[in-house]
Chain A
């Protein structure tokens, strides 16, 4: 092969390869937060609160060291409604900020605060969702678990009843583990 032409052609392919390979980059996408936000919205949709929690905004609170789940919820669900209530997403920097809240997500990064959180919401009908192994027995109504490389959840119906919450049968049925 004519060496000059061959080198030019290879060079042209090389340039194309280099440019084109950029599309093959692994772009990080926080799929975990997307899934958690989607599950939290479903939990909120498949539970029933006492009548005094069906007035005003429907509050979904997040207690986390980072903003990932909070921002995902805010981006996708703040304009939506649960029943007749507008969803409002709130991020708490400290426990003292927690007020009347329909659903509270206690992220793994803040899970050491579980006792204080339980104390703060003990008289409330708050659906507490946690994300740490064993927390179903520490006051959570729902706990996120990772099983077989998938995001799943477990349910403590007893804790739900204590908080005067009714969980839809579908929510209980699809749980990986239930405490009744």
Chain B
């Protein structure tokens, strides 16, 4: 409301004497349609204002930014980008502190739309699209908001979530597909580890991802598998356990009293037929939590 009130104040100040000789006040017309939420018509008027070189002030660019940010953005018609470019031009031209403040707020909100889309896509399971949107958000943020912003903490949260989503995505897939998705999940967690090698969640999740895939191979073995096939699949599962174990150990080193990782280590040592270590972590779990492990 405060924003609309502010815009009304300066739009009412538009007069056609500036610039082109035509009498129509294009920005005012554009703003009228903007208020009526007819953004398509508003766009025509504001573009006309710029096309006829009527006026190219900070306020016109600002209105253009407002209008374009409301239009549906598609790959072919990237109206959000036009909005951001317009807002950026407004920012560069403006010397009005109050207007600059509003431009900044609208720019931030516009960029945030891209971020929110990436989170919505993540929730919908559109993981590749989500990542592409997230990268676009970062690019827009650096270009239009703050070129020196440090994304490390947000990257850690985002890529841990993305990795978990890739893990969750693979439960019904074939083994080959599951392994492919596991590798993608690991790659996302590795992005977190690249920023922070001491990140518990990423280490734990990589370890568990390998453990879960290894056990799935064994659990879903055809009950009539011949002896040589059992041997072959045990080797495949073992390779996965060996990949996962160092990450679980790292997570344990980072948080040695976390029951989650202690249980994970008990499980992976059980799968690796290491009775001594399985027993060690089982007892440790009981000491830490005061209760017995499930399915024990």
Contact = CB atoms under 8 A, between A and B. Distances in A.
B76 interface: no
Interface residues of A, number: 41
A14 B274 CA distance: 36
B211 A26 contact: yes
Given A26-B267, A149-B272, A151-B234, A16 B119 contact: yes
Contacts of B274: 146, 149
Contact of A34 (B219, B242, B264, B268): B219
Contacts of B235: 150
A49 interface: no
B167 A9 contact: no
Given A30-B295, A151-B234, A23 B161 contact: no
A25 B260 contact: yes
Q: How many interface residues does chain B have, given as a range?
A: 35 or more
Contact of B270 (A31, A38, A76): A31
Contacts of A41: 223-224
B284 to A, nearest CB: 15
A29 B122 CA distance: 29
Main secondary structure of the interface of B (DSSP, over half): helix
Contacts of B70: none
B167 A2 contact: no
Contact of A24 (B209, B225, B228, B242): B209
Contact of A77 (B109, B223, B225, B270): B223
Given A24-B167, A31-B270, A149-B272, A9 B115 contact: yes
Given A10-B154, A21-B205, 13 more contacts: A1-B149, A14-B157, A25-B208, A25-B260, A26-B212, A27-B212, A28-B263, A30-B295, A39-B230, A146-B275, A149-B238, A149-B273, A150-B235
25 contacts: A1-B108, A1-B146, A1-B149, A2-B108, A5-B112, A10-B157, A13-B154, A13-B158, A16-B119, A16-B161, A17-B164, A24-B167, A24-B204, A26-B212, A26-B267, A27-B212, A28-B263, A29-B215, A31-B215, A31-B271, A34-B219, A39-B227, A149-B238, A150-B231, A150-B234
A-B residue pairs, 5 tightest by C-beta = A23-B168, A26-B264, A146-B273, A76-B223, A31-B218
Interface of B: 105, 108-109, 112, 115-116, 119, 122-123, 141, 145-146, 149, 154, 157-158, 160-161, 164-165, 167-168, 201, 204-205, 207-209, 211-212, 215, 218-219, 221, 223-228, 230-231, 234-235, 237-238, 241-242, 260, 263-264, 266-268, 270-275, 293-295
Interface of A: 1-2, 5-6, 9-10, 12-14, 16-17, 20-21, 23-32, 34-35, 37-39, 41-42, 46, 76-77, 80, 146, 149-151, 170-171, 174
